[in-house]
């Protein structure tokens, strides 16, 4: 390691602290719980809870409803490490600060990442309360956590983003959804920096680009995960129609109301995916 690779040194220090807090736990699945989806963490058994603020070099979550803590325990017969809340760029975090907990999960042995969020539907055939399995994404944040010299010391900076969202994990998600009676779509997610919601003109442009859903997270996490070879599954709760679609004008209140109603379905879906995925 280069003596001036501060990022790698910080990650190793953070991993040492979190590893000590988790004892003999060896998580194999990482889960990022987005807006309104944090209650899944209450389903994790024999849980150890570590607030982000107790991990060296980790930023705290300031987003509404994001508790900002790691929850490690058993779900679906596997040891998982969940982020009950995430870090966003719109909170003032740099791309590498957003990516930090993903790289940290990798150092702890996590092989697969399930990243979730609440998203607006650009595709007019979608309905609030459904879930959308991400087939691909358009990173329109203008940011990438691999920029700079230090991430190249973690893993090689050039890597393919083909099948960034693992086809086998997507197939498992579809099968579980069918078995457990959860309505799902599959489509292209577009990520923005936020925090303002999109304009109707932007939504029309994004539809022309082939985007089906839109929100303010995920892309930087997925880039960081693929950078170090983690398998990724992305799932959005369709919490609202995007701005201008069917006259919609999104609000955070709407997002949390829909998430509350969808909570039982979301828990069934994620637990089933963790249980059936072969890692």
Q: What residues form the annotated binding site for phosphate?
A: 35, 66, 86-88, 118, 217
Residues 6+ apart with CB under 8 A from 174: 133, 184, 186
Distance in angstroms (rounded) separating the CA atoms of residues 141 and 27: 30
The binding site for a purine D-ribonucleoside comprises: 198, 240
The binding site comprises: 35, 66, 86-88, 118, 198, 217, 240
Cα 61 off chain centre by: 14
Residues 6+ apart with CB under 8 A from 157: 146, 151, 227
CA-based R_g, the chain, Å:
18
In the 8-state DSSP scheme, what is residue 223?
H
Residues 6+ apart with CB under 8 A from 207: 122, 123
**Shortest CA distance to 98 belongs to which of 229, 217, 228, 230?**
217
């Amino acid at each position: 390691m280069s003596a001036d690779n501060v990022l790698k040194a910080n990650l190793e220090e953070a991993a040492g602290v979190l590893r000590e807090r988790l004892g003999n736990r060896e998580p194999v699945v990482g889960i990022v719980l987005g807006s309104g989806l944090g209650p899944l963490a209450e389903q994790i058994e024999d849980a150890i809870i570590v607030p982000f603020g107790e991990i060296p070099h980790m930023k705290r979550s300031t987003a509404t409803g994001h508790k900002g803590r790691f929850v490690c325990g058993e779900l679906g017969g596997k040891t998982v490490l969940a982020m009950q809340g995430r870090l966003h760029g719109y909170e003032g975090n740099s791309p590498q600060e957003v990516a930090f907990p993903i790289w940290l999960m990798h150092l702890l042995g996590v092989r697969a990442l399930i990243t979730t969020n609440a998203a607006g539907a650009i595709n007019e055939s979608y309905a609030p309360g459904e879930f959308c399995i991400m087939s691909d994404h358009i990173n329109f944040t203008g940011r990438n956590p691999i920029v700079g010299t230090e991430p190249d010391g973690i893993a090689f900076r050039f890597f393919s983003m083909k099948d960034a969202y693992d086809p086998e994990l997507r197939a498992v998600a579809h099968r579980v959804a069918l078995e457990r009676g959860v309505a799902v779509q599959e489509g292209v997610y577009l990520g923005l920096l936020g925090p303002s919601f999109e304009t109707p003109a932007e939504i029309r442009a994004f539809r022309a680009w082939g985007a089906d859903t839109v929100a303010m997270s995920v892309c930087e996490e997925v880039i960081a995960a693929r950078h170090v070879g983690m398998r990724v599954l992305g799932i959005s709760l369709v919490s609202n129609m995007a701005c201008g679609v069917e006259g919609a004008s999104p609000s955070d209140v709407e997002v949390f109301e829909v998430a509350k109603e969808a909570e039982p379905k979301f828990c069934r879906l994620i637990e089933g995916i963790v249980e059936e995925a072969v890692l």
